[in-house]
A and B are shown apart, each in its own frame.
Chain A
């Protein structure tokens, strides 16, 4: 497998150096792996810190900036960051108003953020945590580690980020984040497996003519494998899987997300099918976002996230945002 890298060991650091060069408005600490908005800490503003394995770009570093995250901690590829990074990030963005940790529900992320929260509190930083667990492909039962956190992370970071930017206090920002997570569900499919730089070959074998339904964002196989389906059939399957669980009673935000290797031509075509199914199911779409936002390296495939919104949440979605990966309204 050909990759645009030097050696696997420096992939994350190399990317951070390049990100720093492209975005002088960010403070990128390459050695300690923390990306902070350049004007942090902002007086009186709640800090939002997220993080996770690298390989999901633009998540999370690409979402640092006014109106969204205050800081992000990228771990090794598909590996959660370590508590030291999170504590450093929290200290860099805390203005005294406290910090919200936004954590995707993967065991490693949860354990490391838990440890970091304890350490940050020992340093006198007020910390709240919200867990994102939107993936309907995983049944939340005693027999799993709970639902995975995937596409809804973007909505949680955007809407809670907007609330924090307006000066909302920590408990309010936390409540918004929880509300968004509770109102959002995701389903993903893979058309190809992932190749991680460290392994250099696909993490699982997915033959031509087959697809994986219910994948996560770490190259782990999905719950079920089927013969390849058309865009129309995939949209029917994915949207129905989300709606069966979400049952929205109002308008929704729709995220049609690419997993990294699927071109926008295909994603827009897929979005047409997603909008068709939603119309057939009488679901009103308030806003739609199409693109590669929560990716899985070079995986081909897509995910659909729907998030039910009221007027207040929609207003927070529309609020200005200025980050490397998401930017509008100012």
Chain B
């Protein structure tokens, strides 16, 4: 994490590249996400996120240079307007709230971004009425933001571990909750896609560093 070690800052272009990288990861993993969703949901998580991130990429391409906060709020609005389901409002809120926290600063430190993302994660928890352990995206996001201030790589690893740790859990929120005990033994698709987002962040940061 040379950025943080050098006290470097992240500009709007960094966040644009993060979201583009995340979109590419969603394209690559769409079938896997849908497969996970067919076990305990309705088999559309991959296709839905794919539609959303394509809209994000298209919207960002149309815009000139934007501040970090504006990149994230624009992306969040696109997700809310195109994804549908629960993941549209939840991912949309995550990015919008994080973007609003960053305000109109032209560049932010990684530590400042970690704080803002934590606020975004809190907003997701509030909107969905969920908490860690409910077998949702929060199981990846909450451990990630706890260590994100250390390094983006640590955040990505925590999210990945958090997603894997959803396997033995019983779902308490969302459509999987209707399966009761039958949701046990399957990895949560939302936590998995959240881990993809954090992995893309670390990847973008390494490419930058």
A203: B residues at CB distance < 8 A: 38, 42-43
A220 part of interface (Cβ distance < 8 Å):
yes
A181 part of interface (Cβ distance < 8 Å):
no
A80 touching B84, Cβ below 8 Å:
yes
How far is B176's CA from A216's CA once the two chains are assembled, in angstroms? 11
B199 part of interface (Cβ distance < 8 Å):
no
A83: B residues at CB distance < 8 A: 80-81, 89
A79-B48 contact in complex given A198-B43, A218-B42, A219-B42, C-beta closer than 8 Å: yes
B178 touching A196, Cβ below 8 Å:
no
A221-B44 contact in complex given A80-B85, A111-B90, C-beta closer than 8 Å: no
Q: Which of A53, A77, A80, A148 is in CB contact (< 8 Å) with B178?
A: A148
B86 part of interface (Cβ distance < 8 Å):
yes
How far is B77's CA from A187's CA once the two chains are assembled, in angstroms? 37
How far is B182's CA from A107's CA once the two chains are assembled, in angstroms? 19
Which of B100-108, B114-122, B167-175 has 4 or more CB atoms under 8 Å from chain A? B167-175
B85 touching A108, Cβ below 8 Å:
yes
User: How many residues of B sit at the interface, in one of the four size bands?
Assistant: 35 or more
A249 part of interface (Cβ distance < 8 Å):
no
B84 touching A144, Cβ below 8 Å:
no
How far is B179's CA from A216's CA once the two chains are assembled, in angstroms? 10
A82 part of interface (Cβ distance < 8 Å):
yes
Q: Residue on B with the closest CB to A143?
A: B172
B39: A residues at CB distance < 8 A: 204
B173: A residues at CB distance < 8 A: 107, 145
A81-B81 contact in complex given A106-B175, A107-B175, A204-B38, C-beta closer than 8 Å: no
B81 touching A143, Cβ below 8 Å:
no
A138 part of interface (Cβ distance < 8 Å):
yes
B209 part of interface (Cβ distance < 8 Å):
no
The listed residue with most B CB atoms (<10 A of its CB), out of A84, A107, A218, is A107
B43 touching A219, Cβ below 8 Å:
yes
A142 part of interface (Cβ distance < 8 Å):
yes
A111-B86 contact in complex given A143-B170, A199-B34, A204-B38, C-beta closer than 8 Å: yes
Q: Residue on A with the closest CB to B127?
A: A111
B180 part of interface (Cβ distance < 8 Å):
yes
User: How many residues of A sit at the interface, in one of the four size bands?
Assistant: 35 or more
* A-B CB contact pairs (8 Å), 28 listed: A75-B85, A76-B44, A77-B44, A78-B43, A79-B44, A79-B83, A79-B84, A79-B85, A80-B85, A81-B84, A82-B88, A83-B81, A83-B89, A106-B175, A107-B174, A107-B175, A112-B84, A112-B88, A137-B178, A142-B172, A144-B177, A145-B174, A198-B43, A199-B38, A204-B39, A216-B175, A223-B178, A223-B179
How far is B83's CA from A78's CA once the two chains are assembled, in angstroms? 12
A228 part of interface (Cβ distance < 8 Å):
no
B25 part of interface (Cβ distance < 8 Å):
no
Q: Residue on A with the closest CB to B171?
A: A144
Q: Residue on B with the closest CB to A219?
A: B42
B41 part of interface (Cβ distance < 8 Å):
yes
B82 part of interface (Cβ distance < 8 Å):
yes
A21 part of interface (Cβ distance < 8 Å):
no
B128 part of interface (Cβ distance < 8 Å):
yes
How far is B84's CA from A115's CA once the two chains are assembled, in angstroms? 11
B42 touching A196, Cβ below 8 Å:
yes
Q: Which of A114, A199, A220 is in CB contact (< 8 Å) with B175?
A: A220
Instruction: For the complex of A and B, list the 5 residue pairs with the smallest distance between their C-beta atoms, beginning with the closest.
Output: A108-B85, A111-B89, A108-B86, A144-B177, A107-B86
As a 0/1 sequence over residues 190 to 222 of chain A, the CB contacts with chain B under 8 angstroms (1 = contact) are: 000000101100011000000000001011110
The listed residue with most B CB atoms (<10 A of its CB), out of A106, A138, A144, is A144
